[in-house]
Chain A
Amino acid sequence: MIVLNAVTKIYGQYRNRKIILDQADATFEAGEHYVVLGHRGSGKSTLLRLLSGLQYPNRGMIKRRGSVAPPLGSASGVSPRKTPRALIKYLCGIYGCDEHSVTAVVAHALGDDVVMDVGLPQLTIELRAKVNYAIGYALDTDWYLMDEVVAYGDERFRSLCLRMFRQRQRAAGTILVTKNIRNAHLGTRGALLHGGKLYFAKTMADAVGLFQELEANSHADEVDYAEKLAAMGRVGQAKDYLTLIVEEDGGDQRIFESLAKMAFSTKDWDVAVDAAKAGVACSNASLVSYLILAKVAESRGQYADAVEYSKSAAALAPKSLDANGILARSYEKTGQNRSAAAVWRGFSAPNTAVFERRALHNLVLAKDWAGVLSATDVLAGSDAESVTTLDLRVKALLELKEWGRATEELRRLASKSADKALGHLYKLARSDDWSAILDMVDMLHEVDLGSARSSRIMAYLTVTLDRRAFICRREGKERVGDQLQSLSAFLKVIKAPDG
């Protein structure tokens, strides 16, 4: 167990005096795995050095029960001029470890026994870092401290580090300090280092959530500056600036969102996608990131992805025109017209009629006639009802074989566009349900079909009716044949030049 009791750590003096830890209290339980989240300059590395005893607090007390290894990757800081072998001997003397087994583990990790006898200052930076990591994991202690990373170097060494990390987690406690919430899975207990104090959260998710809330404002100045640059037309510079911060600091939701927007505006799709994905990784509630991902996917013709991303965006902002627009369009492109219609109809935007028309269009494509009817019900009889809407309504009623209502609507359609009304009759006359036309005869006599007199559809219809009349008579249905013949004659009269 490690206990911090009112620990205060101050750097600098006079004007440069900066309080890093301010009467921080904490208890790290033995065998637990902590992830301490903190933004840049919050004192994470200082905390580790204090815990390991490589630095002393200005005030307060740190009680350690069990041995605490130096922060991972900084073993050589204890004695920087030794050879790895001598350093191991020294550290084993301090931590009471078996020198031979530690040496064997380190030599195996480095894969080169010669390195063990070369002075640390003579080694390359990379090799020195490897020595530090290998020694850090090889020492058998009760606590392991890690600053941002648990693995380093090439693929082989990284996997070795990760294996040793998991192995150590089984038998000892670990404390990882990080500004990157993606490292949160490396521990089971979450804590937050903010304003010089340590806060322990009930769950890791709570710690991450709290950290994200704080992080949202921690880079406000940088993002504001970049956005001002972009507003001045220096988008490239703004992007580079934000990219640099991301590289140095890992970034946060706001930075990623801003970078994604800028990259999208310059059609730098790859950067936009990477930044937006990072934004989503920071927060599942990043509307901007989802929107950018959806827009890029739509622009690239990846409509299935666009559906997924815009769905997430629409879930976050149900009234978002952008999100719903992309979602509906992507549904259309993927042939999900019924879903597209539902999205278009779900709008509560000022220009509702436009979306209603698109919804109708999709319902027609989906052959959802009940849907068409329901959609047109809203406008039925109102001034906003267009000929097209009425036309679709008649079509839907005919498809649904609701002859009575269809007759009524046909009457209304004929009064507005006789041509279209006759078109429906022609299709009906050619269909298997042609007999339904007989119910409409009376209605046709009542409306003015003069405007369709010269249309070709009138000719087609009369020919079709004559043919049907002939067939009926041949089959012995004299009465029906007469009715059809009468209707045809009526239409011919209208069609006649003097009619």
Chain B
Amino acid sequence: MWRIFTKSTSAAGNWFSVLLVVTAETIGDRYRRSKLGAALAILEPLGLIALFSWLHSQDVGRPPFGTSSVLFYSTGVLPFYLFFYVSWRLRAWDTLRRVPGGTRFDLLLVQMLSELISKTVIIAIVNLGLWLYGIEQAVPRDPLLCLGALISLMLLGAAVGIVNAVIGGFFFSWFYIYAILMRAWMAFSGVLFVVDQMPPKVRDIALYVPMTHAVTLYRDGQYSKFPVASLDVHYLLVCTIVGVLMSFVLESATREWRPIK
């Protein structure tokens, strides 16, 4: 029994170390391949945060919540970009470079982990910068809650990405449409506003979007006393699990008719 346990533990350890090696390689390769691409991947969300903060300061003058507009928008844009990037990476699910000797599950984990790690590092750097700037709220109230929200966004991104891959497998132009839709989707995901303070009609629509709950959950972990009356963690969990399972079923069911590498 002990031998089986030791063997299994050792096998799991090996698998995990391989996963980390490939994840590190994927992150490195992604940012090594194109310096401009790497810069854009970091500058695009940061630019958006700067833009929204500037626009907001021109219009209202005080942050939507907390003491810093930059922090508020970074707690919305950066988690949302995790969702966006995971879904964008996985749109190429059928042609992604495979993990040698690995399975589809390994490949999925590598892609999700690589985005989670890289975005978490960017979030940490931004928060550190803001904290050094003097914004106390940049230190998360509950980092684990933030991580939970990020994981949930990552899984939602994976589900959407795989569904996109399936659609794109039959209708390639879908990717262009999705890229446009995604930017618009951000407006309905609670990234730019405090959901509880949104007009009721808009809020009702936004609350159907699971990412809204994930972003609110993230901000709940970031800020103390963030308004969470509209947050439905149960709904978020169900949507994440159902979304992931449905994407798996859809991917598996259509595998025979898609051009798979």
Give A contacts to B, CB under 8 Å. 8, 10-13, 52-56, 58-59, 64, 67-68, 70, 78-79, 81, 90-91, 93-96
Q: In the bound complex, do residue B98 and residue A55 qualify as a contact, i.e. CB atoms below 8 Å apart?
A: yes
B239 within 8 A of A: no
Most chain-B Cβ atoms within 10 A of its Cβ — which of A58, A59, A68, A81? A58
Q: A10-B260, A94-B101 are in contact. List 15 more A-B contacts (CB 8 A).
A: A13-B257, A52-B100, A53-B99, A53-B101, A53-B102, A54-B100, A56-B260, A64-B101, A67-B101, A78-B97, A79-B25, A81-B33, A95-B100, A95-B101, A96-B18
Q: In the bound complex, do residue A94 and residue B259 qualify as a contact, i.e. CB atoms below 8 Å apart?
A: no
Q: In the bound complex, do residue B260 and residue A58 qualify as a contact, i.e. CB atoms below 8 Å apart?
A: yes
- B83-121, CB < 8 A from A: 97-104
B7 within 8 A of A: no
Residues of A within 8 A of B59 (CB): none
For B, the interface residue count at a CB cutoff of 8 angstroms equals 25
Residues of B within 8 A of A13 (CB): 169, 257-259
Contact of B25 among A12, A70, A90 (CB under 8 A): A90
> How far does the Cβ of B231 sit from chain A's closest Cβ, in whole Å?
39
In the complex, A55→B22 CA distance in Å? 16
In the complex, A11→B255 CA distance in Å? 11
Contact of A52 among B17, B101, B255, B261 (CB under 8 A): B101
Taking CB as reference atom, which chain B residue is nearest A96? Answer: B14
Give B contacts to A, CB under 8 Å. 14, 17-18, 21-22, 25, 29, 32-33, 97-104, 169, 255-261
In the complex, A12→B257 CA distance in Å? 9
Q: In the bound complex, do residue A81 and residue B21 qualify as a contact, i.e. CB atoms below 8 Å apart?
A: no
Contact of B261 among A56, A59, A91, A96 (CB under 8 A): A56
In the complex, A237→B255 CA distance in Å? 45
Taking CB as reference atom, which chain A residue is nearest B256? Answer: A58
Given contacts A56-B260, A79-B29, A81-B33, contact A93 B100 (CB under 8 A): no
In the complex, A8→B260 CA distance in Å? 11
Name the 8 nearest CB pairs between A and B, nearest first: A93-B21, A53-B101, A13-B259, A58-B256, A58-B255, A54-B98, A94-B18, A53-B102
In the complex, A80→B151 CA distance in Å? 31
In the complex, A94→B19 CA distance in Å? 8
> How far does the Cβ of B157 sit from chain A's closest Cβ, in whole Å?
21
In the complex, A93→B261 CA distance in Å? 24
Taking CB as reference atom, which chain B residue is nearest A64? Answer: B101
Q: In the bound complex, do residue B100 and residue A81 qualify as a contact, i.e. CB atoms below 8 Å apart?
A: no
Taking CB as reference atom, which chain A residue is nearest B33? Answer: A81
> How far does the Cβ of A258 sit from chain B's closest Cβ, in whole Å?
37
Q: In the bound complex, do residue A94 and residue B21 qualify as a contact, i.e. CB atoms below 8 Å apart?
A: yes
In the complex, A44→B255 CA distance in Å? 21
In the complex, A55→B258 CA distance in Å? 14
Contact of B259 among A8, A12, A68, A96 (CB under 8 A): A12
Q: Jot down 30 A-B pairs with beta carbons below 8 A, ordered by A.
A: A8-B256, A12-B259, A13-B258, A13-B259, A52-B100, A52-B101, A53-B98, A53-B100, A53-B103, A54-B100, A55-B98, A55-B260, A55-B261, A56-B260, A56-B261, A58-B260, A59-B255, A68-B101, A70-B100, A78-B97, A78-B100, A79-B25, A81-B29, A94-B18, A94-B22, A94-B99, A94-B100, A95-B101, A96-B14, A96-B18
In the complex, A10→B169 CA distance in Å? 14
Q: In the bound complex, do residue A56 and residue B29 qualify as a contact, i.e. CB atoms below 8 Å apart?
A: no
In the complex, A448→B104 CA distance in Å? 107
